[in-house]
Structures are given as structure tokens and as C-alpha cells.
Structure 1
Amino acid sequence: MSTWEERIEAVWAAASGEVVGAEIIARIDAIAAERGPDDGRAVFERAGARDSAGREAEAVDLYRRALALGLDEEHRPQAVIQLASSLRNVGELDEALALVVAEAQEHPDSPYRDAVAVVHALVLASSGLPARGLSVALLALVPHLPRYHRSMTAYAHEIADHDT
């Protein structure tokens, strides 16, 4: 028999490339129910299903609950990123910005730091600060460049001032 995680992953794998709808939500909910309503990981999966189906307002409350219940270091940053993204989509830009800024400051070496930066950039752009958003995205990209770190970092900092 497959583990709980394997069954969750199988649902997501089957849904890859397809529109997530009520069927996927129901399948995730059924598997999540095995762990009960107070399991952070189960609540996180339920949130992700709704988020993927475009039901961000429902997902927001579930992400918050999952984080409050506690998640491991693999899923906690994912929940923060996905919550911030959903908050952006429902217009809660201040809270989304606070989440990504805190995540970047508290976990600067996280394997999810680039994803945090992308959501940070999107939130800034949605907040009317597109140059600052571009700066954040460029600064996330700089470490991946084979050369030009110093100059591109300087340009990224310079462009951030264009929104002021």
C-alpha cells in the first residue's frame, strides 16, 4: 500500500497540466481527512487544491490554519509562498508583502529563497512598485549568472529607486 504522501503526490501528478477542479479537491480532501482536521500538512494540501482551482479566498484561510498548526521545513516555506501569492490574488497586498519580506529575512539561505523573491516581486508590482519588483527579481537572478555580479547588483539597486 502507498504511503499518505505518495497518494497525495499521485493526485498532484495526475492533475499536472490539467485544470484543477472539484474532482481533484475532493480527492485531496479525502486523503487529507485520514489525518484529521488538526494536521498541518493535511490542511496545507487542502489549501493547495483550492488554490490550484482558482479558489484563492478559500485557500487563504486554510494556509493560515496550516501554518498555525505547524509544518515541517519542506512545507512551511511552500505554505508561506502560496499564502502570499493567494493574498496577492485577492488584493491583500500588505499582508502578502509582510509575509515574503519576513520569510526572506528569517530564512535567507532557504532553498525556496528564489520563489520567495518571485512572489515578492509580483506583490511589489501589484502594489504599484514595478521597478522595486524588478529589482527584487534581478537580485534573485544575480547569483545564477556566470559573471557580472557586481554590476548587475548595482543596476538592480539603482532601478529600485525609479518608483520613488
Structure 2
Amino acid sequence: MHDDWAARIEAIWDDDALSDESRLERIDAVAAERPAGDPLALFERGGARDAAGLEADAAPLYRAALDGGLDDVHRPQAVIQLASTLRNLGLADEAVGMLRAELARRPASPLHDEASAFLALALVSVGREREAASVALRTLAPHLSRYTCSVASYAEELGEDTA
């Protein structure tokens, strides 16, 4: 059931012809097949609302999904999506805290770089642009074909100025 359920959810997300309202209705219908309070269903329902621009409706669903216990694939996604939603709702300080906690987790999430990108955005939203640039450059540096050490060093220098 789970594999079929996940495939149907993915098919809804992949259907670019759906309006936000139709996507939301379809996600809700498939999510309703799972038990009440199921973290994965809550996560998908939150994502549908988030994608439709209904951040205030998405946030409690993301929180409930995280409180309910998501697997290691969906938990970091939910943290990032909730943090982004909170930033959009004017709660960027909370988003910064969530993302810092996510980045401190060990072992590191496969979405570590993605969490860093959203941390940089949240830092800009709270007026800490130099720290945001430091985070972004630290994340980018290992992916560069040249100048990795220089960019990492400059990122550290920017970060020191914010301490």
C-alpha cells in the first residue's frame, strides 16, 4: 500500500496541468487513505497548501508531521519547508533556529546544502546579510572547480565579522 500511495502522491506533484486547488484536493483525498494523524499524510497536506500559497494553513500541518515522527527522507524536507513557510509568515527568527538545528544534526542530512540555502534566506530576512553570504559561500565552496580554498576562507572571514 505504501509504495502505491507514494507513487500516487508523486504523480499528483508531477502533474503540471493541475491547478493549485486541484492539486490540494487530490493530495487531501490520497492523504485521507492513511490513518488520522499519519505524519507522512500531514506532511503532504502541508506541502500542497504551501505550494498553493496557503502558508498559514501549511505551518500547523508541517509541525504536526514533525511532531508525529517522519522518516529520515521526509523529516529534513519538512524542516526546510516549514522554515521557509515561517520565513514567509514573518517568523524568520524561528526559521533560523530550526535550520541551525537541522544543520547541526549528525549524521548530516542529504539535504544539508538545501537547508543551508534556506538558512541564508532566513538570515537575510532577519537583517543578517553578511552572515547569510558566509553561509551561502561556505555551502558553495566545495562544489567549485577552482578557488575552493579562497572562497571558503572569504566565507569564514565574513562569518567572523558577524560573531
TM-score by length of 1: 0.92
Shift of 1:158: 1.7
Q: How many residues align?
A: 162
Shift of 1:106: 1.0
SS state at 1:3 partner: helix
| Structure 2 residue runs without a partner (length 5+) | none
Distance across 1 between alignment mates of 2:19 and 2:80: 19
What letter corresponds to residue 6 of structure 1 in structure 2? A
Distance across 1 between alignment mates of 2:89 and 2:72: 26
CA-based RMSD of the aligned residues comes to 1.9
* Equivalent residue, structure 2, for 1:158: 157
Shift of 1:146: 2.2
> Structure 1 residues 53 and 133 mapped into 2: Cα distance closer, same or farther (>3 Å)?
same
Shift of 1:19: 7.5
* Equivalent residue, structure 2, for 1:77: 76
CA contact (8 A) 1:25 1:46 kept: yes
Shift of 1:134: 1.0
> Structure 1 residues 108 and 153 mapped into 2: Cα distance closer, same or farther (>3 Å)?
farther
Distance across 2 between alignment mates of 1:116 and 1:20: 28
After the TM superposition, list the runs of 4 or more consecutive aligned residues in structure 1 that deviate by more than 6 angstroms.
none
- Identical-residue share of aligned pairs (%): 49
| Structure 1 residue runs without a partner (length 5+) | none
Distance across 1 between alignment mates of 2:9 and 2:75: 17
TM-score by length of 2: 0.92
Shift of 1:162: 5.3
